Structure 1
């Protein structure tokens, strides 16, 4: 752009910044501070203004999941939420079934069923749609289950104990 010394240029960085923030970038700094550019009085050196942007991130959780395949940002050309960012991809269940078998084939006590539930949070790069990190809830313990007493029988396992169980067990 060319103009007279101290004249307003009619240009601000707002439109350009809005375009990029609409694509998931975050404004770090703007030499113009959002103000209209004014021409200086030095014809020998071009004026330069720097706008610094960085990739924004978003965290998805089961309470605030993403929608895989849908845009993360409002801008045209936005990255999409990746697979595994919906509620189903952010939750996991580990099931345990304890089954009793009698050595002589007689009727055994009923099986015991347990489950543990886990949740994850994922940090997503809003510009690329890449999952940057995934953090699952901490490992859990199933409650100890004492084998039932059956007259005339001795269990080979007195107590079933599963501890420090991860979400993907």
Structure 2
């Protein structure tokens, strides 16, 4: 609202009734006198206008006014305040709201520091490149100009652990990293294929094939791939070649076990001789054969003789007797 003020001056003059002349001095006249002795225009503080700043904090006081003083006309100009404008060259930046500089309630020419928008997974920088921590405020050098706040994507971390479910041990852990919102280039395919060459089989692959790094700077993205030892039943009906590699791509690795682990024969020999040791009748022989199914651990080569997939020793045709 426009501000107005005035100072009033009065005096006594004498009028010549014949000529109409106004006589301002001499007998019967008085000098100009300010009403109530007020000869000053007080300083006027510029009002705070939301969203704008004034070019003057106040208009100066004008003192020693007299009746010949000219009218005083002052203009206070207001200009729209600027804003913090978030910006980022990162293609995954989700954006952030602009923040208009808050007015200083005690000075129409000033603004107070504006709160810098917090964007999870991104770090804010002022125009000079200084890091602006979450929750910080920024004081612009010119309250009427916008300030660009530049955001850069943070580095996110994680891991992929390969777990041997048979032993409960972790075989290895690979580190992964990437910026917020970026796609991970990591793949479990090669590692899984390599473990399969060494006798493992996949249980579950907990790593997402199209992993996008999140915006959580305090918690890593950790994943697990579960594998177990492949087990192969071996028996006389389904034998393997003893001493050859269990895993063809691992020539120096575990070998198939000897056949006596699953195929045994007990032999009987009766020899007929005289008192001098000479053979007097044809030698008699007999045998009883026993077989079973064992399970071979393709990772370690261990022969497992009990438990799932195995069978106990069984005599061929049920024959357990030498007649």
User: Could you state the TM-score of these two structures normalised by the residue count of structure 2?
Assistant: 0.36
1:9 counterpart residue number:
184
Kept after mapping to 2: 8 A contact 1:12/1:37: no
Question: SS where residue 223 of structure 2 aligns?
Answer: coil
Whether the aligned pair in 2 keeps the contact of 1:114 and 1:142 (CA below 8 Å) is no
Question: 1:141-164 CA distances to partner (integer Å, 9 max, x unpaired)?
Answer: 3375xxxxxxxxxxxxxxxxxxxx
> RCO (CA 8 Å, sep 6+): is it higher in 1 or 2?
1
Corresponding residue of 1:142: 321
Q: Any unmatched runs of 5+ in structure 2? A: 1-176, 275-279
The structure with the largest alpha-carbon Rg is 2
Equivalence for 1:90: 262
- RMSD over aligned Cα atoms: 3.2
1:55 aligns with 2:229: yes
State the match for 2:243 in structure 1: 69
SS of residue paired to 2:193: helix
Once the two structures are TM-superposed, the CA of residue 12 in structure 1 deviates from its matched residue by: 2.0
**Equivalent of 2:196, from 12, 15, 21?**
21
Question: Are 2:259 and 1:80 aligned?
Answer: no
| Secondary structure class of the residue paired with 1:63 | coil
1:76–1:137 distance in 2 versus 1, CA, 3 Å: closer
TM-score, normalised to structure 1, is: 0.62
Q: Is the 8 A contact 2:235 2:294 kept in 1?
A: yes
Q: In the alignment, which residue of structure 1 is the partner of 2:295?
A: 123
- TM-superposed CA distance for 1:101, in Å, is 8.8
- Residues 82 and 143 of structure 1, relative CA distance in 2, 3 Å threshold: closer
Gaps of 5+ in 1: 103-107, 145-169
User: What secondary structure does 2:293 align onto?
Assistant: strand
